[in-house]
Amino acid sequence: MGRVYEALKRAAEQDSGPKSGGTATETPAAEEKGVAPSAETNGNGNGHAPSGAPHAPEYLFNASRHFQSPETAHTPAPNEQTLAPDGSALPAGQASRAAGATLGAAGSARTPEFVSIDVSAARVEPHLVAITQPRSSHAERFRSLRTRVLHAGERRKMQAFVITSAGIMEGKTLTAVNLSWLLAQTDGVKALLIDGDLRNPCAADYLGLDAPVGLSEVLAGEARLEEAIVRLEPAGLHILPGGSARDDVAELLSGPRFLAVLKEVRRMFDYVVIDAPPLGIFTDATVLINRADAALIVARAGKTRYAALERLLEPLPRERLLGVILNGSEEQLNEQNYYYRRYSSARRGEGGEE
């Protein structure tokens, strides 16, 4: 009892004595009200005790709004979504690690969801053998071309490929679609086909698609890139159609808007195949080759003249020329491909007759 009496006496003497401003004797008064002292009382402006100061008692209720003063009861606690006046939720302008999860964050790897359309083999151009005859020897030739492209992508860090030809009716669009379809079927690969022949866009027609919006509208500012790209099933190929035909193609492809489109699709896809106009007619293909990583030139047997092809290839940068594809060759292909031999072997193993 004597100790209790002495403690009460000392407390009464402190309460009756004069209070000095800014001393530690004001802190217990705040404790009795259940309110934590403000950051200004610490002297460093951050709400923490300064270095070397004695440890203050732990305030158990200052995290709850019900135990705060009326002036601060409706002030939410700062979090990762609460921005400070300098635009950051962290002191000294530091960015939060969670900022990368926002839609507008730079370098975000998130890919938007695109409209999905089922492609029917009965509706597409019959020469799209990767769709109509996937087990034929002709499709195997395109698989061989796909292997070349994949190896070039790995060895030489190539991602965007332009498919063009010397003249018209040489098979560049068919080559671009067949190659893209097989690229998309590769495990772990996301491929995009861009119809860059804006003077005569026809990739969507070959696939039996009704696509009124495409690259032409994106470059004109009439549509967003995410709205124009379509995902094709079952291969999973993405296509950016050409859209409406136009004449100012070279000006659009040379401008900054197409450069931004190409930069964005490089971020979203592993491989980008661009169907370009013929080299010998317009300068559009040259512009696209200079923006891409490599070019494949389609030549048709019995139609493309060697001298004309050599003249067109001369001004192009050699490091971007991946090769020349011979189309329409009369070479007899062996129809007994791998799939047929595998079926025959299985039949023989089961004891069946061929």
Per-residue pLDDT reduced to its tens digit, 237-247:
999 999 999 99
d(CA 300, CA 18): 104
- DSSP calls for 20-56: PTTSGGGHHHHHHTT-PPPGGGGSSSSSSPPTTPPPP
Lowest pLDDT segment from 101-105, 307-311, 316-320: 101-105
Lowest mean pLDDT among 15-29, 74-88, 334-348: 74-88
Q: What is the pLDDT of residue 172?
A: 96
**Quick check: 271 and 161 in contact, CB under 8 A?**
yes
Please check the confidence at residue 263 and state whether its pLDDT lies above 90.
yes
**Does this model's pTM top 0.85?**
no
**What span, in angstroms and rounded, lies between the C-alpha atoms of 354 and 197?**
48
Q: Report whether 214 contacts 241 (CB < 8 A).
A: yes
Average pLDDT over residues 268-291: 94
For residues 46 and 166, give the distance between their C-alpha atoms in angstroms, rounded to a whole number: 70
pLDDT one-digit tens code per residue, 112-128 = 789 999 999 999 999 99
Q: For strands 160-165 and 271-275, give the pairing.
A: parallel
E strand residue ranges, the chain: 115-118, 160-165, 191-195, 230-233, 237-240, 271-275, 294-300, 321-327
**Half-sphere exposure (CA, 13 Å, Cβ side) for 135?**
8
- The answer to whether the CB of 114 falls within 8 A of the CB of 226 is yes
- Side chain identity at 341, as an amino acid letter? R
Determine contact, residues 161/276, Cβ cutoff 8 Å. no
pLDDT of residue 111: 65
Annotated domain spans of the chain: 115-327
Band of pLDDT at residue 6, cut at 50, 70 and 90: low
Ordered DSSP codes for 167-189: SSSSSHHHHHHHHHHHHHTSTT-
pLDDT exceeds cutoff 70 at 49: no
**Residue 207, exposed/middle/buried by CB under 10 A (0-12, 13-18, 19+)?**
buried
- pLDDT at residue 232 is higher than 50: yes
Q: In what helix (H) or strand (E) does residue 115 lie, and over which residues does it extend?
A: strand 115-118
Structure tokens at 239: 């296509």
Residue 333, CB-side half-sphere exposure with 13 Å CA sphere:
12
pLDDT tens for 207-223 read: 999 988 999 999 999 99
What pLDDT sits at residue 248? 92
Q: Which whole number is the average pLDDT over 240-257?
A: 94
Give the class (CATH, top level) of 115-327. alpha beta
Neighbours of 283 (CB within 10 A): 13
Segment 132-159, tens digit of pLDDT:
999 999 999 999 999 999 999 999 999 9
Q: How many CA atoms lie within 13 A of 244 on its CB side?
A: 10
Q: Is the dihedral of CA 149, 151, 153, 158 positive or negative?
A: negative
C-alpha 42/C-alpha 7 separation (Å) is: 28
Cβ-contact 230, 243 below 8 angstroms? no
Average pLDDT, the chain: 74
Rounded-to-integer distance, Cα 230 and Cα 65, Å: 50
pLDDT at 101 over 70: no
DSSP state of 67: G
